[in-house]
Structure 1
């Protein structure tokens, strides 16, 4: 018999806020999303969501829940994380707080990280994100070929293992970051090997190269050879003359790769004149580049050498959106030398986005919700992730009745589903509802702690 989940009185702010909805999923797929004319009354057998502790229905019976007007969103999608670096701050410090020191310190420490440690960090940070409602992740992976092929592929192997283990719970994409400051033939061929092993696409940070344009060309040539997408850190700099995104956009147009290329950060747009920024944003839109803003890390890292006024580095969010660019907001780094804060909570990142971009109107708040759901799904090439018939029942119920309440309260109480299966329920205390996830969480936390041991 099919497994049936029914939810009534759910608020869907990305669809229509004038009414509540009744939702039905069978075997993990939405079969019905129907507007209600009035609030559905409580009936025997239906459990109020705030009293439900995650227990499934008896075999052969539907699980019926009353959302009581709480907000349901599609499973959140985090389009830019660094799972392999997460929780490495106790081992890799950053005295100056600058991006340059973070890059150098982590690169120097990388050879000493074992595959088991990398795997534990990736596992913990991925599960942390899932517990907050994220069911799709794109992670960039450090790829230190200059320390040898084994060091570079060690991280990829660890990430592939975690990706396979967590496949029932979260979709993970892997983008090795090719060393654009030292893009040798060996580095390119090692990256090709990583892609054959199962990595998703080509990554890198060409703006840190003294000759970025030919290196961008080599990255595009590799992506063409391996038939994979491209996702580049672009112009993470306070220097208004750093504009590698222009060459990335031109190459995207020449290759006809609209929808296959993503650029993250774009900090230098915030430092240049309106005229120059407008021209670049127009080119980004023309090329059909996907874009990602990383407000938490960039507010922390950028402007370190300024005295007054201090530039804050967050890209021109409004202008990109107004130009029609598909712009996501994402977590970036968690408790590492690049960013000592964060926990993989996209709602928290959405709030930071709203602060940084001055997006506080009702329409703005709903746009920010799309930057956590629909926009990253498009950037990541993940179709059919909305709460619509025929799509997987990946969704999050929040203990809030509106976008305004979501951003004001950032509620901890959340119920997370993946393909109709409850992964995390909120009762008196939130607990993992899948024993395998609970054990993996405990194992990862045991290996990776906030305190430096010894």
Structure 2
């Protein structure tokens, strides 16, 4: 399998608009060997003599292209997904729509999933996200230690194999979630084994543990021993008294891990009074803890017990950002008991964030684009990211001429590149440009889950 961008290819694109830098002007972009070598501002729109239109089917494979004023973003970064759970809803139902039933339903079903099925679902979800422009994913993986080591390790083994298989097309980071129901020693021993296997860091949901602070202590002790980052589900609750985020900030500062700890969800911040929320946000900012909002799943799950003024559950995005906390927006769950909808499209997630966080001003729209590109790239530690000389040429061309048009129209037509090679083109019908990638996609979808059920 050839690595994307290999072979010494040169790619040049004219008349591109860069909404994260200077959308008022057109730019010429040049990449060699999958790396940007020059980003030049044009004095005006160039005539396309010798350049192919992106709309032409052969344009997907051409090396001299005319963007025709379309927006070009660096490859989108999904900082919080659950690839292992994606498309599991047919087997793990959630009739009440509550977080509690979602956890219980998936926990019952997880030991029955064969590794082949998990890999097929993960592959399908990852490649579906790629088709919408995502080139980097951080996935959280459930660790069902109460079902025994064999079951607990199965999803991580599947994730590591998928990560390697899909490496030419998408970066995948793997964060197993520290078990909070198993015996602490056994649970942390499993996470240590997974770190030795090659996962990228430690996840978890300590607010669900019987003793959240003790669980947080064990996570940070292990992270310090292995020198790895921490990415936690934090205070995914409507209870304003749920404040493990403050203790996480304290542990982050105590271990000197600023910039290497992420807090996802942070739903309880939205339920607190403004003074308490400001205090908690201040502690996160001081400690250097980043945040990820998961608006789709939280809008769906939270506020289920409310009978008047139903709470949205989405964290205080604007207040976190104003305090200096890096805030990304991410997909979370797709077609599983935690969230029956979604498709792994970060432009859709950015739009949902805009609705939920009341972000509609021109400056907000540009911030939202950063929340699915530059900010999550920094949060999950991608080096050499962006449309600038010396960075890897991962990018997506979107059929819109401004952020306003992008958010209003949510264009389906997108051209996705990884390391300077076209992965997916918007030529009708939309197709994978890399035949090997198309084969992987077909294999993942054609499993249909009927075949893998026989493996159980």
> Is the CA contact (8 Å cut-off) linking 2:117 and 2:449 kept in structure 1?
no
Q: Give the corresponding residue for 2:9.
A: 3
Deviation at 1:55, TM superposition (A): 4.6
Q: Give the corresponding residue for 2:3.
A: none
Q: Give the corresponding residue for 2:356.
A: 356
Q: Give the corresponding residue for 2:279.
A: 279
Q: 1:121-136 alignment to 2 at 5 Å? A: 121-136=121-136
Deviation at 1:210, TM superposition (A): 2.2
Counterpart Cα distance in 1 of 2:448 and 2:96:
24
**1:51 and 2:64 equivalent?**
no
Q: Give the corresponding residue for 2:169.
A: 169
Q: Given the superposition, is the C-alpha separation of residues 187 and 353 from structure 1 closer, same or farther in structure 2, using an over 3 Å criterion?
A: same
Q: Given the superposition, is the C-alpha separation of residues 448 and 312 from structure 1 closer, same or farther in structure 2, using an over 3 Å criterion?
A: farther
Matched residue count: 447
Deviation at 1:446, TM superposition (A): 1.6
Q: TM-score, normalised by structure 2?
A: 0.96
Deviation at 1:2, TM superposition (A): 3.0
Counterpart Cα distance in 2 of 1:225 and 1:214:
17
Counterpart Cα distance in 1 of 2:332 and 2:160:
19
Q: Give the corresponding residue for 2:427.
A: 427
Deviation at 1:209, TM superposition (A): 1.3
> Is the CA contact (8 Å cut-off) linking 1:156 and 1:194 kept in structure 2?
yes
Q: Give the corresponding residue for 2:18.
A: 12
**1:145 and 2:145 equivalent?**
yes
Deviation at 1:447, TM superposition (A): 2.0
Deviation at 1:181, TM superposition (A): 3.4
Q: Give the corresponding residue for 1:204.
A: 204
**1:400 and 2:400 equivalent?**
yes
**1:219 and 2:225 equivalent?**
no
Q: 1:260-409 alignment to 2 at 5 Å? A: 260-409=260-409
> Is the CA contact (8 Å cut-off) linking 1:414 and 1:425 kept in structure 2?
yes
Deviation at 1:174, TM superposition (A): 0.3
Deviation at 1:53, TM superposition (A): 3.9
Q: Give the corresponding residue for 2:242.
A: 242
Counterpart Cα distance in 2 of 1:448 and 1:199:
28
* Residue of 30, 50, 75 corresponding to 2:36: 30
Q: Give the corresponding residue for 1:118.
A: 118
Counterpart Cα distance in 2 of 1:182 and 1:111:
15
> Is the CA contact (8 Å cut-off) linking 1:77 and 1:376 kept in structure 2?
yes
Deviation at 1:192, TM superposition (A): 0.6
Deviation at 1:434, TM superposition (A): 1.1
1:98-127, Cα deviation, whole Å (9 max, x unpaired): 000000110111110000000001100000
Q: Given the superposition, is the C-alpha separation of residues 448 and 246 from structure 1 closer, same or farther in structure 2, using an over 3 Å criterion?
A: farther
Deviation at 1:48, TM superposition (A): 1.4
